[in-house]
């Protein structure tokens, strides 16, 4: 049973990391190459779509890692799993405090109502997102190392 939990946890966290990596290094570059109105509308749509899914994914990943840490407490690598969980918790805190407030504004913008500093706000979101991606990549690396 523990092996199945480890596989599910690794896959769920790994796919989440992959999606966030793709947002940072693929989707943002694609959207930022578009004309301003299309760029802004694309970011707003992505913010609405991913803003609905990612909270569940982040919390679900954290819960899976916590369950693995508790159920495998006496197994090798649990310290790394706990550290991975702490990093995932940090990513949730970063999301709530830094990224979600910007995303909540961005997802309501249109070319007609966006603020004059919309590009600066999106750039700020992207910088915070790069930091969050680094944190979750580190968490995933620790998790995979612990479960290998």
Helix axes 36-71, 78-94, angle to 10 degrees: 150
pLDDT in the model for residue 89: 98
Q: What CA–CA distance (Å, rounded) separates 100 from 58?
A: 13
pLDDT tens for the 148 residues of the chain, in order: 778 999 999 999 999 999 999 999 999 999 999 999 999 999 999 999 999 999 999 999 999 999 999 998 888 899 999 999 999 999 999 999 999 999 999 999 999 999 999 999 999 999 999 999 999 999 999 999 998 8
**pLDDT (0 to 100) of residue 102:** 97
Determine the Cα–Cα distance for residues 136 and 128; give it in Å rounded to an integer: 12
CB distance 142 to 14 below 8 Å: no
Query: How far apart, in Å, are the Cα atoms of 98 and each of 4, 93, 103, 114?
Result: 34, 8, 9, 20
Residue 128, burial from CB neighbour count under 10 angstroms (0-12, 13-18, 19+)? middle
pTM of the model: 0.94
pLDDT reported for residue 29: 96
Distance separating the N- and C-terminal Cα atoms of the chain: 16
Please report the pLDDT score of residue 83 as a whole number: 97
């Amino acid at each position: 049973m523990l092996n199945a939990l480890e596989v599910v946890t690794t896959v769920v966290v790994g796919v989440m990391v992959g999606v966030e990596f793709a947002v940072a290094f693929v989707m943002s570059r694609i959207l930022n190459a578009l004309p301003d109105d299309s760029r802004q509308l694309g970011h707003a749509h992505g913010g609405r779509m991913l803003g609905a899914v990612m909270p569940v994914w982040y919390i679900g990943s954290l819960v899976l890692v916590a369950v693995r840490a508790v159920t495998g407490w006496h197994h090798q690598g649990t310290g790394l799993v706990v550290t991975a969980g702490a990093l995932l918790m940090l990513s949730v805190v970063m999301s709530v405090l830094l990224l979600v407030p910007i995303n909540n504004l961005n997802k309501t913008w249109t070319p007609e109502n966006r603020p004059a500093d919309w590009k600066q706000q999106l750039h700020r979101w992207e910088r915070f997102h790069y930091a969050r991606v680094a944190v979750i990549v580190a968490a995933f690396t620790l998790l995979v190392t612990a479960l290998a």
